[in-house]
Structure 1
Amino acid sequence: MTTDNILNEENNEEENSQVEENSPEEEIPASQESQGETSNSEETAEQASSDSSFNEGDKVTGTVFKVEEKFVRAHIDGTDFEGIIPISQVTNKRIEHPQEVVAEDDTIEAVVIKVEDESERHNLILSIRKLEEDKSYDDLIASKENDETISGTVMEVVQAGLVVDVGVRGFIPASLLSDEYVEDLEQFADQTLEVKMEDIDKDKNRVILNRKKIIEVEKKADRKTQLEKLETGATVEGEVVRTTNFGAFINLGSIDGLAHISELSYERVENVEDAVNIGDKVDVKILDVDVDNERVSLSIKQAQESPFELFIKEHNSGETLEGTVKRLVDFGAFVQVAPGVEGLVHVSEISHDHVAHPSDVLEEGQEIQVKILSLSEDSGKVSLSIKETTERVEQPEQSSKVYRDETDEDQPTLGDVFGDKFKNLDL
């Protein structure tokens, strides 16, 4: 049943009631009738004055004298007008019966939305809801101007977001609900949420709310608090939440820190995913904290005991080990002697023979034996030698031999040597 139907029905009942009441049961004396006419004339003048004093939009107060199923009736203070409030105008909340909100003898404030000016009938159609909404809009506009946080109750969950009661019906789009994607909006049903005003247009009944801003502000405050508590050099636990080609981002609570690819492992890392995966729980050492820029530099490898430290505990100078040639450079070869531990074989320590370039005698990936020449705990360096694992091969000396014939008969004479020279002499 519409409001107009309700009001029409009420009008008919009221008129029938008035007809019955005005049916005379006994004669009225002439003097009384004259006085009555005078009194009626005065009342008519007052009513005419009263009629002209009400317009749509006027605010009134009254007292509830009847609560019906679909509307509320109230006496307007200081007048003989009756106010009728349809159930849809009692409140902006969904109700089944007006008595959920008002009761007889309640004092109400409302706004006039229609004036009924009929003969011997003085009715105002009122709205408590509109008056409350007008006040709510004024409060919401002030909240937006002052960037205030307000509270609202979720009235309805729809596909695009949440309908929220903030005095009027407001709407939080899903994109403004959180700083992260929210898959299940139903979790917010009937909850009271803190929000900020995003946009408001009273004429269009448009109220857009923003919860994301509050979450971002809260998280920023949390990040600053945590950043101030982080100590450079401390070791903490974190979770890998994102990987890039230059490193891994590790969540420490309300802040993410970056472990550069060079800080993921003591072994050489070509791809970040070879060292860590999203979801891994890792211990990290805090290398640097920049509170102003919210940056934290982390190291996974430095949170662990280094392979070199383990190596020097287990090995000494003079030991011979198996190693793998990892890199060849002009001045020597880097040989891995343990996971994460490489030592240098200087070019002069490759062979007992002269080596012009390491690649002349070695290949990357080649398995070789090396001897530890020295271990430097301070610098973390290991000096190795290949030639010390082999013995020098002594080359036999090359002696020049002269073969002579010692027999006399084979000895040359002076005549054999000088004969041709003497024959031409004139002796």
Structure 2
Amino acid sequence: MCAKATMEEFEALLNESLEIDTPDEGSVVKGRVIAIEAGQAIIDVGYKMEGRVDLKEFANPGEESNISVGDEVEVYLDRVENARGEASISREKARREEAWDRLEKAYGAEERVEGAIFGRVKGGFTVDLGGAVAFLPGSQVDVRPVRDAGPLMGLKQPFQILKMDRRRGNIVVSRRAILEESRAEQRAEVIANLTEGQTVDGVVKNITEYGAFVDLGGVDGLLHVTDMAWRRVNHPSEILSIGETVKVQVIKINKDSHRISLGMKQLQADPWDTVADKFPIGSVHQGRVTNITDYGAFVELEPGVEGLVHVSEMSWTKKNVHPGKIVSTSQEVEVMVLDVDPVKRRVSLGLKQCLSNPWDSFAANYPAG
């Protein structure tokens, strides 16, 4: 009777043990570290199964493993039993599965993910996203080309997922998108604090033929060559240099395109305000030839004020002659003010009026008859 009861109990226990669901191969299971030996962690994953995992699989790229006996970990079950009669498990694959689940949610929600650049490959870098490895193209590292990526290696920082394919195991991320977004926010904040007519300090960032770009603290403004000085400026490099701090006035702000127009001459007195008083009609002045055209020559009377000597006002005797045959650039000449229009910012000058008219002396020396 007793033996019969014992057999029944054994059969019940056997059935109970068979009813216990063993984990599926290819799934993530929980386990406990029961020993560490020969560079491996022995992990009890339950169901009377143990497996071994290299310690390096518990470490992040560039870091040491900090796993110890008694720790609970999640591992990936490759096979229930391998050739050694142990469970074939992997912490690295478990981390990858966890990471992919997390990253797919972030990608769907267009959220940033945290990672660290840990290697260099052809065309870019590898990034550890907490278990999954992503590719960072060289063009997506920064808003400008990066010559030395050393300071960025191993640094925890945010990335934006551009595309991912779990079946192929491909993830492409961008650091540049994060920086551009931050710059856009900073730019919007700076622009919101600027007003037209405001005077601000800026640093010359770049110089071109048509002007200079000035950094106003997170946003660039264009200082056009015509707004640098009241006088004629042939090239911005004549008065500016890269890295120089300048005081400028905000002339115009386009809120939609975030474009800012700047000026320097607006902070100085406009010389045209006093032209009529300084250069009355009929007065004679010394000037410098600044530009020669087919129809005449421009003469600078003072910085910021130029007048035109029309070709017809250059010589009493030379007709249909190019102005360049009579005067040359940078030549000092004496001119007479013939007309002044401060509104249109025009001064008409005469060169021949400062010379005696040969026709008058001819008429005096050679009377009719």
TM-score by length of 2: 0.74
> Over residues 216-237 of structure 1, what are the superposed CA-to-partner deviations in whole Å (9 max), with x where a residue is unaligned?
1111122222222222223333
In 1, Cα distance between equivalents of 2:44 and 2:326: 105
Change (3 A) 1:343 1:137: same
Corresponding position of 1:65: 34
User: Shift in Å at residue 286 of structure 1?
Assistant: 2.4
In 2, Cα distance between equivalents of 1:91 and 1:170: 19
Greater CA deviation, 366-375 or 249-258?
366-375
Change (3 A) 1:35 1:189: same
> Over residues 121-145 of structure 1, what are the superposed CA-to-partner deviations in whole Å (9 max), with x where a residue is unaligned?
9743333443332121111011111
Greater CA deviation, 235-244 or 218-227?
235-244
Mapped pair 1:368 → 2:333: yes
- 1:168-187 equivalences under 5 Å are 168-187=132-151
Corresponding position of 1:13: none
> Over residues 338-397 of structure 1, what are the superposed CA-to-partner deviations in whole Å (9 max), with x where a residue is unaligned?
23322356899879x89988979x933364333567877666555656677568867379
Q: Is the 8 A contact 1:350 1:358 kept in 2?
A: no
In 2, Cα distance between equivalents of 1:97 and 1:273: 54
- 1:105-144 equivalences under 5 Å are 106-116=71-81, 123-144=86-107
> Over residues 58-99 of structure 1, what are the superposed CA-to-partner deviations in whole Å (9 max), with x where a residue is unaligned?
44334433233433334444x4x032131268536359986x
Change (3 A) 1:58 1:45: farther
In 1, Cα distance between equivalents of 2:293 and 2:95: 83
SS across alignment from 1:187: helix
Mapped pair 1:256 → 2:225: no
In 2, Cα distance between equivalents of 1:355 and 1:230: 56
Give unpaired runs (5+ residues) of structure 1: 1-30, 401-427
Q: Is the 8 A contact 2:126 2:133 kept in 1?
A: no
- 1:42-61 equivalences under 5 Å are 53-61=22-30
Amino acid at match of 1:286: V
SS across alignment from 2:80: strand
Mapped pair 1:336 → 2:300: yes
In 2, Cα distance between equivalents of 1:60 and 1:345: 93
- 1:12-411 equivalences under 5 Å are 53-77=22-46, 79=47, 81-87=48-54, 91=58, 93=60, 100-104=66-70, 106-116=71-81, 123-156=86-119, 160-271=124-235, 273=237, 276=240, 278-308=242-272, 315=278, 317=280, 320-325=284-289, 334-343=298-307, 363-365=326-328, 367-371=332-336, 382=347, 395=364, 398=367
User: Shift in Å at residue 163 of structure 1?
Assistant: 2.9
TM-score by length of 1: 0.66
Greater CA deviation, 36-45 or 84-93?
36-45
Q: Is the 8 A contact 1:70 1:97 kept in 2?
A: no
User: Shift in Å at residue 181 of structure 1?
Assistant: 0.8
Structure number with greater CO (CA < 8 Å, separation at least 6) is: 2
> Over residues 238-270 of structure 1, what are the superposed CA-to-partner deviations in whole Å (9 max), with x where a residue is unaligned?
344444454433333322233334334433345
Q: Is the 8 A contact 1:91 1:128 kept in 2?
A: yes
Q: Is the 8 A contact 1:156 1:164 kept in 2?
A: no
Name the Cα RMSD after superposition.
4.4
SS across alignment from 2:116: strand
Identity in percent: 25
Q: Is the 8 A contact 1:329 1:358 kept in 2?
A: no
User: Shift in Å at residue 302 of structure 1?
Assistant: 3.1
Change (3 A) 1:350 1:163: closer
In 2, Cα distance between equivalents of 1:76 and 1:334: 92
Change (3 A) 1:377 1:275: same
> Over residues 273-326 of structure 1, what are the superposed CA-to-partner deviations in whole Å (9 max), with x where a residue is unaligned?
55655445443332211110122223343344445568789x565864322455
In 2, Cα distance between equivalents of 1:63 and 1:368: 97
Q: Is the 8 A contact 1:116 1:124 kept in 2?
A: yes
User: Shift in Å at residue 39 of structure 1?
Assistant: 7.3
Change (3 A) 1:62 1:364: same
Change (3 A) 1:53 1:322: closer
> Over residues 150-185 of structure 1, what are the superposed CA-to-partner deviations in whole Å (9 max), with x where a residue is unaligned?
222344456732433433233323221111111111
Q: Is the 8 A contact 2:205 2:214 kept in 1?
A: yes
Amino acid at match of 1:87: D
Amino acid at match of 2:26: G
In 2, Cα distance between equivalents of 1:367 and 1:116: 100
Change (3 A) 1:124 1:142: same
Q: Is the 8 A contact 2:118 2:125 kept in 1?
A: no
In 1, Cα distance between equivalents of 2:365 and 2:43: 131
In 2, Cα distance between equivalents of 1:311 and 1:188: 59
Q: Is the 8 A contact 1:73 1:82 kept in 2?
A: no
Q: Is the 8 A contact 1:178 1:212 kept in 2?
A: yes
